[in-house]
Amino acid sequence: MDLKGKFKYIFFDADDTLWENERHFRAAEDKFAALLSDYTSPEGVQEMLWQKQEDNIPLFGYGSKTYMIGMTDAAMELCGGQLPKHIYYGIKKIITDLAFHELEIIEGVEKTLQALQGHYRLIVATKGDLTEQMGKFRSSGLAHYFHHCEVMENKDEKNYLELIAKHDIRPEELLMIGNSVKSDIAPIINIGGMAIHTPHDIVWVHEMMDMPESDRIIVVKKITDIVDFLL
């Protein structure tokens, strides 16, 4: 499919599209399971954490701060309503390490952005905690390739319609590139835009869903492949 000249803007997801993210959350979950190993199995810790995360995301949004709330809630329940001091401080250390880990740019990202810069207006469209996401963006070393970064409350149809209204473009002029079917692909297709899926080998359970059927979806093996469609 030839997309040359069809779009003015290209919107990029950030976490697990531009830089590694989910593998750090998985490592944090492993540390959390080890911290609670006296109370239940790793599977039991994981199940409780997922449950608490699903409860908290609608209230507090996304990001490591919400993860700390979920871990604290899960630990409180697993510990029988009394949270030992070493468990609390253990959770705080896990989340601190998670929030301030060194960013690892995904292979091929910078080469791709170098190729596209000057041909399109590139914009990061991510979701989560504003301070946390902007901190990643500024420390990534990639900010100079982008016009700016949009930190969205969520990435559903409503949020994308607000995004295109802000940039004064129609749905059919929206091109989104990302790794999450639930956040970066399905809602774009539902409002009439176009999406390029750049798969990642680790997918957060909250983001899992089947790929919708549409001739407005392109699936590539790696991010550098998008250049063949756009230049």
Residue 195 lies inside a defined structural domain of this protein:
yes
Which position has the token pair 């750090």? 24
Q: Is the domain of 72 the same as that of 124?
A: no
Q: Are residues 29 and 14 in the same domain?
A: no
pLDDT at 102: 86
Least confident of 113-117, 182-186, 202-206, 227-231: 202-206
70 and 36 belong to one structural domain: yes
Residues 72 and 42 in one domain: yes
**Average pLDDT over the chain, rounded to an integer:** 92
**Distance separating alpha carbons of residues 195 and 178, to the nearest angstrom:** 8
| C-beta atoms surrounding 227 within 10 Å | 17
Are residues 207 and 132 located together in one domain of the fold? yes
CA–CA separation, 31 and 52 (whole Å): 17
Picking from 80, 99, 118, the residue at the C-terminal end of a domain is 99
Q: Are residues 14 and 35 in the same domain?
A: no
Residue 226, number of CB atoms within 10 A of its CB: 22
Is 13 in the same domain as 27? no
Distance, in Å, from the CA atom of 218 to the CA atom of 73, rounded to the nearest integer, reads 40
Q: Are residues 94 and 167 in the same domain?
A: no
Of 51, 67, 99, the residue at which a domain comes to its end is: 99
Residue 1 lies in a domain: no
CATH code of the domain containing 54: 1.10.150.240
Residue 42 in any domain: the answer is yes
Query: In CATH, what number is assigned to the domain containing residue 204?
Result: 3.40.50.1000
Helix residue ranges, H only, the chain:
22-35, 42-60, 64-78, 85-99, 109-116, 130-139, 157-166, 186-191, 226-230
Contacts 24+ apart (CB under 8 A), 40-47: 40/78, 44/78, 45/74, 45/78
Instruction: Please work out, in degrees rounded to the nearest 5, the angle formed at the alpha carbon of residue 18 by the alpha carbons of 30 and 121.
Output: 155
* Residue 2 forms part of a structural domain: no
Residue 203 pLDDT more than 80? no
pLDDT at 62: 81
pLDDT at position 197 is 97
The reply to whether 186 falls in a domain is yes
Q: How confident is the model at residue 1, as a pLDDT? A: 75
Mean pLDDT of 117-135: 93
Q: Quick check: 118 pLDDT over 80?
A: yes
Residue from 59, 106, 68 nearest 220 by CA: 106
| Residue 113 to residue 223: CA distance in whole angstroms | 10
How many helices and strands (H and E) does the chain possess?
9, 6
Considering the domain architecture, whether residues 86 and 29 belong to the same structural domain is answered as: yes
Q: Is the pLDDT at 35 greater than 70, yes or no?
A: yes
Per residue in 209-222, pLDDT tens?
788 999 999 999 99
109 confidence band (pLDDT: 50, 70, 90) = very high
Three-state secondary structure call for residue 192: coil
Q: Do 86 and 110 have their domain in common?
A: no
Q: Is 177 helix (H, G, I), strand (E, B) or coil?
A: strand
Tell me if 3 is assigned to some domain: no
- The mean pLDDT of 84-108, rounded to a whole number, is 92
Q: Which two tokens stand for residue 3?
A: 């997309």
Question: How does residue 227 score in pLDDT terms, banded at 50, 70 and 90?
Answer: very high
| Mean pLDDT, residues 153-171 | 95
Q: Do 81 and 160 have their domain in common?
A: no
What is the tally of structural domains in the chain?
A: 2
Which residues span the domain enclosing 72? Answer: 22-99
Q: Which of 76, 99, 122 is the last residue of a domain?
A: 99
pLDDT given at position 206 = 66
| 90 and 165 assigned to the same domain | no
CA distance 91 to 85: 10
Q: Identify the residue with better confidence: 133 or 209.
A: 133
In this predicted structure, the answer to whether residue 176 has a pLDDT above a threshold of 70 is: yes
- The predicted pLDDT at position 210 comes to 86
